[in-house]
């Protein structure tokens, strides 16, 4: 398919931007983040493809970045196993897509995981069960909370949600609709509102698989726009981290920053929306340095280039 002149110019601009930012030496920045203390972690989504090249390349660079930053944990934001999830806690894909791919010492930290749409195709509960077998995989239930220490006086609360019951189904995925507990949406929403209201942490971060707004292939998620986003705004959540679209994005909805880290394998094209601050269709991941007063976000591609960096004030 031929590009229009506008599309060509946009592609050239994005490629040039990536080259320029890539020269900023992410390892140096990540090492600086580590020296500044705080809570450092990495986030990856849409990744499990039995060690295919894109997945392995991202895993290698993620291990390097996690070591430089002193990452305390990994956020696995869904679509953990392609194409159809896992059949059990003993499925071979635990080895071929996870254990033998993310082997860097820096990645032998807790992986706080949630479910994506592909994870529901077979046995979603198996990913919860694997928590009992693994030293690093952590998914105690379909939705849950974690409190992490930033420094001696500051905590961050993480809220992990299951967006699958809230999402519309792609035409090609109607076959697993009965496996998705849509009836539980009111309970999950009540839990989320109660948990956000009870949180006294200065930092609140919500993690879900589907995007709220996006320039990616799947489009916005109407239920999240109408029902989840207002809760995030009401309770002063600073960031929402998702996957689903196979790219890296930063968007903004009011004071809520929306980060897509869905570049774990097989990237797709993306575009800009009125909410977009950055978007690039590439394989990669996100490195985050959370301090008492700010959140530094670095997006890094599968070649180890820093393609985007931003800093968010806690009380923006």
> Among all chains, which residue has been given the structure tokens 């109407």?
222
> Among all chains, which residue has been given the structure tokens 């507990």?
181
* Contact between residue 245 and residue 267 where contact means Cβ atoms under 8 Å apart: no
Q: What is the pLDDT of residue 168?
A: 87
Q: What is the pLDDT of residue 21?
A: 52
- Over the stretch 307-316, which tens digit does the pLDDT of each residue have? 999 999 999 7
Q: What is the band of 24 on the pLDDT scale with cuts at 50, 70, 90?
A: low
Structure tokens at 119: 């994870």
- Over the stretch 273-292, which tens digit does the pLDDT of each residue have? 999 999 999 999 999 999 99
How far apart are alpha carbons 141 and 211 in whole angstroms? 21
> Among all chains, which residue has been given the structure tokens 């919500």?
206
Q: Which helix or strand (DSSP H or E) is residue 113 part of?
A: strand 111-113
Q: What is the mean pLDDT of residues 298-314?
A: 96
Count CB neighbours of 63 within 10 A.
19
Q: What is the pLDDT of residue 25?
A: 76
Structure tokens at 234: 């009401």
How far apart are alpha carbons 245 and 238 in whole angstroms? 21
As a dihedral over the C-alpha atoms of residue 191, residue 194, residue 196, residue 199, rounded to 10 degrees, the angle is -120
Q: What is the pLDDT of residue 210?
A: 98
Q: What is the pLDDT of residue 14?
A: 39
Q: What is the pLDDT of residue 97?
A: 98
Q: In what order do the strands lie in the sheet with 306-313?
A: 137-138, 111-113, 73-76, 39-44, 284-290, 294-301, 306-313
- How many structural domains does the chain have? 1
CA distance to 234, 235, 257, 310, 312, per residue, from 154 (Å): 21, 18, 20, 21, 16
pTM, 2 dp: 0.92
- Over the stretch 89-147, which tens digit does the pLDDT of each residue have? 999 999 999 999 999 999 999 999 999 999 999 999 999 999 999 999 999 999 999 99
Q: Identify the CATH number of the domain in which residue 48 sits.
A: 3.60.21.10
Residue range of the domain that includes 130 = 5-312
DSSP per residue over 171-235, as a string? GGGGGGGGGS-GGGHHHHHHHHHHHHHH---SEEEEE-SS-SS-SSTT---HHIIIIIHHHHHHT
Structure tokens at 224: 């999240």
Q: Which helix or strand (DSSP H or E) is residue 146 part of?
A: strand 144-151
- pLDDT surpasses 70 at 298: yes
Cβ density class 119-130: b for 16+ within 10 Å, e for less: bbbbbbebbbeb
- The burial of 9, by beta-carbon neighbours within 10 Å (0-12 exposed, 13-18 middle, 19 or more buried), is given as exposed
Q: What is the pLDDT of residue 4?
A: 45
Q: What is the pLDDT of residue 18?
A: 43
Helix (H, G, I), strand (E, B) or coil at 75: strand
Q: What is the band of 15 on the pLDDT scale with cuts at 50, 70, 90?
A: very low
Q: What is the pLDDT of residue 171?
A: 80
Structure tokens at 222: 């109407």
Q: What is the pLDDT of residue 22?
A: 52
Q: What is the mean pLDDT of residues 24-39?
A: 90
> pLDDT averaged over the chain?
92
Q: What is the pLDDT of residue 316?
A: 73
Structure tokens at 173: 């995925």
Q: What is the mean pLDDT of residues 77-86?
A: 97
Cβ density class 199-217: b for 16+ within 10 Å, e for less: beebbbbbbbbbbbbbbbe
Structure tokens at 24: 């900023």
Whether cis (ω within 30° of 0) applies to the bond prior to 83 is yes
Question: Which residues are annotated as catalytic?
Answer: 218
Structure tokens at 53: 């090249």
Share of the chain above pLDDT 70, in %: 92
């Amino acid at each position: 398919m031929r590009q229009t002149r506008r599309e060509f110019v946009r592609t050239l601009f994005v490629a040039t931007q990536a080259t320029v930012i890539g020269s900023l030496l992410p390892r140096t920045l990540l090492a600086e983040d580590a020296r500044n203390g705080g809570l450092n972690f990495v986030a990856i989504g849409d990744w499990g493809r039995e060690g295919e090249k894109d997945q392995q390349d991202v895993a290698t660079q993620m291990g390097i970045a996690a070591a430089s930053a002193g990452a305390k944990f990994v956020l696995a934001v869904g679509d953990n196993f392609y194409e159809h999830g896992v059949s059990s806690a003993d499925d071979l894909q635990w080895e071929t897509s996870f254990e033998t791919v993310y082997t860097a010492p820096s990645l032998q930290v807790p992986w706080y995981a949630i479910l994506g749409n592909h994870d529901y195709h077979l046995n979603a509960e198996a990913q919860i069960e694997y928590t009992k077998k693994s030293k690093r995989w952590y998914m105690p239930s379909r939705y849950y909370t974690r409190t992490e220490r930033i420094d001696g006086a500051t905590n961050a609360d993480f809220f992990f949600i299951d967006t699958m019951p809230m999402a519309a189904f792609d035409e090609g995925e109607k076959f697993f609709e009965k496996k998705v507990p849509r009836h539980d949406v009111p309970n999950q929403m009540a839990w989320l509102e109660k948990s956000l209201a009870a949180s006294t942490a200065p930092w609140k971060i919500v993690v879900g698989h589907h995007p709220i707004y996006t320039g990616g292939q799947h489009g916005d998620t109407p239920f999240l726009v109408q029902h989840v986003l207002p809760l995030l705004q009401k309770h002063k959540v600073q960031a929402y981290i998702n996957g689903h679209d196979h790219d890296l994005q930063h968007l903004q909805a009011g004071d809520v920053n929306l980060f897509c880290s869905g570049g774990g394998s097989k990237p797709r094209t993306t575009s800009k929306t009125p909410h977009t601050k950055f978007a690039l269709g590439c394989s990669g991941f996100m490195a985050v340095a959370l301090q008492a007063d700010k959140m530094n976000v670095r997006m890094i591609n599968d070649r180890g280039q820093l393609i985007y960096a931003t800093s968010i004030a806690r009380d923006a």
